[in-house]
């Protein structure tokens, strides 16, 4: 949970900017595009993220007047972007104006439970990130991978001690930046007899999707900009066969000589 208003302001400002970049790439036509096995559309996903702000935070006594959580999904991508922008900024301004660090310890009735306000703010932030995780997971399953989601870096590293993964997806900002990332350093230092069998994918706002030289410079197999996550299944269908075509014969030869 958040224990200081300043900590929330810092994290929420980053989430605001990241989500704005994603929503800016939506078009009226793309809103009806189905994603995932449940055929949820991009428009419904974007609207769910947007309406979650007033739906959750108005339970704490704040007054984020729009959008109405019960309203239907707009047909306009611009309307969704503006509604998210207004709600997210209103939350930021109201928390800064009305709450103190002590306020974050106060409790509210939330879905049949008592939550501290600092926990509610954290739940909202994680909810935003959770939608991105679900989209990535759905895309990986669509191309045939069995997906395991790690909640922490230590959890991921512990699991890798016992499981040989064929594909690993890492959000570059998870540990601040890649230069300081424990997990990325671990991947770069992996012995080649393990690393050559892992398709390592980096996701971040500053990456260029399908830019092979950029991926190579980060010791990865693929880089994807977060704005292109809605097309991740297509990106994977394009890049993984290319990877297998390039390295498949070599890996088969190594396997035949017991080098796997």
Summarize pLDDT for 159-213 with one digit per residue, the tens. Answer: 898 898 989 999 888 777 888 899 999 999 999 888 888 999 999 888 998 888 9
Alpha-helical regions (H) of the chain? 5-24, 42-57, 77-98, 117-142, 153-160, 182-189, 192-195, 212-217, 232-256
Banded pLDDT at 246 (limits 50, 70, 90):
low
What's the confidence (pLDDT) of residue 120?
93
pLDDT digits (tens, 9 = 90+) for 116-155: 999 899 888 877 666 666 666 777 777 788 888 777 788 8
What's the confidence (pLDDT) of residue 116?
93
Decide if 212 contacts 223 (C-beta within 8 A).
Answer: no
Strands 34-35, 40-41: pairing is: antiparallel
Q: What is the mean pLDDT of residues 60-73?
A: 88
pLDDT digits (tens, 9 = 90+) for 4-45: 999 899 889 888 887 887 788 788 988 887 765 555 788 888
pLDDT at 256 over 60: no
Q: Token pair of 80, please?
A: 């969704």
pLDDT at 90 over 90: yes
Domains 5-135 and 143-256 share a fold: no
Contacts of 234 (CB under 8 A, 6+ apart): none
Q: Could you state, in order of their start, the residue ranges of all structural domains in the chain?
A: 5-135, 143-256
pLDDT at 94 over 60: yes
CA 215 to chain centre: 19
pLDDT at 89 over 50: yes
Q: How far apart are CA 138 and CA 152, in angstroms?
A: 20
Mean per-residue pLDDT over the chain, rounded? 84
Task: Report pTM.
Answer: 0.57
CATH 1.10.40.30 corresponds to the domain 5-135: no
pLDDT digits (tens, 9 = 90+) for 216-244: 999 999 999 887 887 788 888 888 877 66
Q: How far apart are CA 223 and CA 234, in angstroms?
A: 14
Decide if 201 contacts 222 (C-beta within 8 A).
Answer: yes
Q: How far apart are CA 191 and CA 68, in angstroms?
A: 53
pLDDT at 53 over 90: yes
What's the confidence (pLDDT) of residue 185?
94
Q: How far apart are CA 19 and CA 46, in angstroms?
A: 9
What's the confidence (pLDDT) of residue 50?
92
In angstroms, the Cα distances linking 214 to 98, 180, 184, 206 are 45, 18, 15, 11
Q: Token pair of 230, please?
A: 């809605």
Cα diameter, the chain:
68
Which CATH architecture does the domain made up of 143-256 adopt?
A: 3-Layer(aba) Sandwich (3.40)
111 versus 151: the higher-pLDDT residue is 111
Q: How far apart are CA 141 and CA 116, in angstroms?
A: 36
End-to-end Cα, the chain, rounded Å: 44
Q: How far apart are CA 126 and CA 12, in angstroms?
A: 11
């Amino acid at each position: 949970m958040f224990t200081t208003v300043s900590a929330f302001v810092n994290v929420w400002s980053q989430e605001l900017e990241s989500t704005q970049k994603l929503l800016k790439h939506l078009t009226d036509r793309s809103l009806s595009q189905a994603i995932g096995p449940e055929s949820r559309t991009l428009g419904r996903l974007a609207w769910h993220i947007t309406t979650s702000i007033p739906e959750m935070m108005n339970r704490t006594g704040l007054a984020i007047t729009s959008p109405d959580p019960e309203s239907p999904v707009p047909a306009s991508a611009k309307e969704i972007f503006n509604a998210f922008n207004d709600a997210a900024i209103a939350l930021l301004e109201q928390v800064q104006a009305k709450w103190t660090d002590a306020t974050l310890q106060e409790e509210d009735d939330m879905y049949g439970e008592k939550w501290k306000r600092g926990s509610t703010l954290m739940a909202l932030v994680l909810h935003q990130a959770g939608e991105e995780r679900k989209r990535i997971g759905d895309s990986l399953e669509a191309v045939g991978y069995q997906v395991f989601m790690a909640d922490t870096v230590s959890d991921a590293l512990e699991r890798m001690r016992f499981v040989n993964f064929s594909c690993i997806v890492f959000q570059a900002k998870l540990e601040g930046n890649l230069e300081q990332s424990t997990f990325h350093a671990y991947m770069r230092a992996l012995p080649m007899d393990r690393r050559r069998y892992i398709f390592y994918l980096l996701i971040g706002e500053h990456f260029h999707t399908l830019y092979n030289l950029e991926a190579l410079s980060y010791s990865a197999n693929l880089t994807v900009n977060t704005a292109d996550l809605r097309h991740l299944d297509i990106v994977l269908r394009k890049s993984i066969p290319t990877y297998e075509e390039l390295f498949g014969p070599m890996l088969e030869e190594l396997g035949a000589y017991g080098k796997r």
